[in-house]
Amino acid sequence: MRALARDELKEVLIKNWMTHDGMWFYHCLQECGIEKTNRINKAAVRAMGIIEIKRIQKAVGIEKVETLEDFRSLVGAAWDIVKADFMKATFSLPADNILRGDFEQCFAYEGIKQIGAIDQYQCGIFERIYGWFDGVGMKYSVSPEVEGCMMHTDGKCFREITFTFDK
């Protein structure tokens, strides 16, 4: 037996959390089909994201996001907290008001493909991130607008989110 390092603990927690999420999706799918499951999944993750970002804001002491600097700090902190190594994703800031997320691989795509529902799956990953921005009260637009799974249809996945700052 060996003791786990702190980064390993983080990895175990996030892996199990995402598996738990996947099990909700799977059991819901068995019980009521893909249409309702997509609806519940997206609603649950968006609602979670809205509260999640507020908890992160409180924890890291960025209660208001009014400037580009606040935004950069908060996104960086949130990413450090919730991203695990198995999530092969990166984010960048190609312009002051643009956040770009790129997925090299996607654990949701892999998992949903495994249970045979990828054709009709509607992405819940970015719903979480939109929940963050809704929670902070930011104005933004998303490109491209994707309803299904971009990894499935295009073999790659990204979004560019453009923000409007008041200050």
Partner 1 sequence: MSPRKAELTAGQREKLLRSIWLLHDGRWFLKAVEEFGFDAATKLNLAVVRSIASTEMKQLLAEMDFGVVGNMGDFQTLMQVAADLYFPEEHKHEFEVVDNNTFVGHVLECYVHKMVSKAGTAAVHRCAAKLRFDSWCRAMGLDGVVINEKDTNNCNGTCDIIFEIKW
As measured in angstroms, the least distance from the Cβ of 63 to partner 1 is 11
Q: Which of residues 125-164 bind partner 1 (CB under 8 A)?
A: none
DSSP 3: P
Helix (DSSP H) and strand (DSSP E) numbers for the chain = 5, 4
d(CA 6, CA 11) in angstroms, rounded, equals 9
The mark string for 3-32 relative to partner 1 (x by CB under 8 A, - otherwise) is xx-xxxxx-xxxxxx-xxx-xx-xxx--xx
Q: Which is nearer to partner 1, 80 or 96 (CB)?
A: 80
Structure tokens at 145: 């607008």
The closest alpha carbon to 47, from 159, 163, 135, belongs to: 135
d(CA 146, CA 144) in angstroms, rounded, equals 6
Stretch that binds partner 1, among 68-76, 103-111, 134-142, 149-157 (CB under 8 A): 68-76
Q: Which of residues 27-56 bind partner 1 (CB under 8 A)?
A: 27-28, 31-32, 36, 39-41, 43-45, 47-48, 51-52, 55-56
